[in-house]
Amino acid sequence: MHKLNKFVYMSKKLLSLLRKNKRTIIGLLSGTSVDAVDAVLLQITGNGTSSRIKIIDFIEHPVPQNIRMAVFKNSVNNTAELEEITRLNVILGAVFADAVLKLLRKNNLNPAAVDLIGSHGQTIHHLPNKDNYIGFRVKSTLQIGDPAVIAILTGITTIGDFRIADCAVDGDGAPLVPFLDHILFTHKSKNRALLNIGGISNITILKKNASKKDVFAFDTGPGNMIIDGLMYHLFKKKFDKNAHSAKKGAVNTDLFGYLLNDKMFRKSPPKSTGREHYGAEFQKKLLAKFNKLNKYDIIRTVTEFTAYSVWYNYNNFIKPVCVIEELLISGGGAKNPLIMRALKNYFKGVSVNEVKQNGINSMNKEAVLFAVLANECISGNPANMNRVTGSTKDVILGKICQ
């Protein structure tokens, strides 16, 4: 095609995408656990609070262990290498594209049947603190697995990098999920909280009939990150499937007391955290101090701590302003029976359940978010939540790659 014709063709394609009321979208997420690329295929009619979502399919495309280890290595200051991060930006883009192609094959679809991909990318580093650097004080965050790579390898318009626009207006760029929680889970007569237990745990508070301005949310502390890290060190396993190892141990009061000294989970919100805090260094220190302890007791204790840190944050920072009646849980942690049992114990009088609503469940929910954010971007709607991230302006999130 002649260059100008090609430009006109691409512009028309984008324009028709803008005008559509119903879009077929794939949402992609790889969280801090780097266990799998979650890929959801869905249709969205409308946008904003009037969005209606129909889930079509969902897959988890495992991230190969060598790539997972490379991401961990390059997420930590003293082991990261600039060359490796640069290469991983393209390598992960290809892994995300593979997840899309697999989902299309499974559903007998051509790329042309999909309007958009919304991709979170892989967080490599998150810096919400405004420390002085060469005379500047900015918040920043870096996700790799470039959306341009996904767009080229799949042939589908891809929107990615949703966090950084919020940082440009002094926001943390995280968490983003409260936007989805608000439009889908606000209840007319019940105060609810949504808890996602991924690598990190984050909570969204939706008082009954909440408006966008009422919503608040923050990271409570660890999710599965410490459990996963220690499972790898102690048992060479990726995670503690169905709490199999933790069930063989008991809570050790010395280790639990040591974990209670962690400043991050006690910090009052707003706060966001990640592998920088609960990753390799945190785990190495813990293991060095408690190397004589029974391995199963270690896993049991950090599992208990994950649930406790959620409750601590609720009791100290949420309950005084909003007493919840329902706690809806998503993320891989919802599949850990000991985390669920401990949460039910701590949250006495609150109904504690896995998320389940119109095809959205504890496994696909975060991937749905990135499909919704792509839909908001193409609809021209700001999707950052100022009260949640601390940003000073409403901005449209995401970069569009053709």
CA-closest candidate to residue 195, choices 281, 277, 65, 318: 318
Considering Cα of 290, then 222, then 306, then 242, what sign does the dihedral take?
negative
Q: Is 332 in the site for ligand ADP (CB under 6 A)?
A: yes
Alpha-carbon gap, residue 74 to 88, rounded angstroms: 9
Q: Is 304 in the site for ligand ADP (CB under 6 A)?
A: no
Quick one: what does residue 115 bind among Mg ion, ligand ADP, none, with the CB cut-off 5 to 8 Å set by partner type? none
Taking the complex as a whole, how short is the minimal distance between the CB of residue 31 and Mg ion, in angstroms?
A: 4
Q: Quick one: which of 58, 185, 218, 239 contacts ligand ADP (CB under 6 A)?
A: 239
**H-helix or E-strand spanning residue 326:** strand 326-330
Of the two residues 262 and 366, which places its CB atom closer to ligand ADP in the complex? 366
Window 360 to 389, contacts with ligand ADP (CB under 6 A) = 366
How are the residues of the chain apportioned to helix, strand and coil, as percentages rounded to the nearest 5? 45, 20, 35
Q: Quick one: which of 242, 315, 345, 351 contacts ligand ADP (CB under 6 A)?
A: 242
CA-closest candidate to residue 81, choices 89, 221, 147: 89
**What mask, x for binding ligand ADP by CB under 6 A, covers residues 155 to 194?**
----------------------------------------
Alpha-carbon gap, residue 134 to 211, rounded angstroms: 40
Quick one: what does residue 93 bind among ligand ADP, Mg ion, none, with the CB cut-off 5 to 8 Å set by partner type? none
Window 209 to 238, contacts with ligand ADP (CB under 6 A) = 224, 227-228
Q: Is 309 in the site for ligand ADP (CB under 6 A)?
A: no
Contact 276, 264 (CB under 8 A): no
Q: Quick one: which of 186, 204, 336, 389 contacts ligand ADP (CB under 6 A)?
A: 336
- Return phi, psi of residue 173, to 5°: 75, 5
Taking the complex as a whole, how short is the minimal distance between the CB of residue 194 and ligand ADP, in angstroms?
A: 13
Three-state SS sequence of 16-36: HHHHCCEEEEEEEECCCCCCE
Number of residues engaging ligand ADP in binding (CB under 6 A) = 20
Helix axes 253-260, 295-313, angle to 10 degrees: 40
Q: Is 240 in the site for ligand ADP (CB under 6 A)?
A: yes
Q: Quick one: which of 24, 25, 28, 33 contacts Mg ion (CB under 5 A)?
A: 33
Alpha-carbon gap, residue 51 to 48, rounded angstroms: 6
CA-closest candidate to residue 38, choices 402, 332, 336: 332
Residue nearest to ligand ADP (CB): 332
Quick one: what does residue 141 bind among ligand ADP, Mg ion, none, with the CB cut-off 5 to 8 Å set by partner type? none
Q: Is 331 in the site for ligand ADP (CB under 6 A)?
A: yes
Binding site for ligand ADP (CB under 6 A): 31-33, 35, 198-199, 224, 227-228, 239-243, 331-333, 335-336, 366
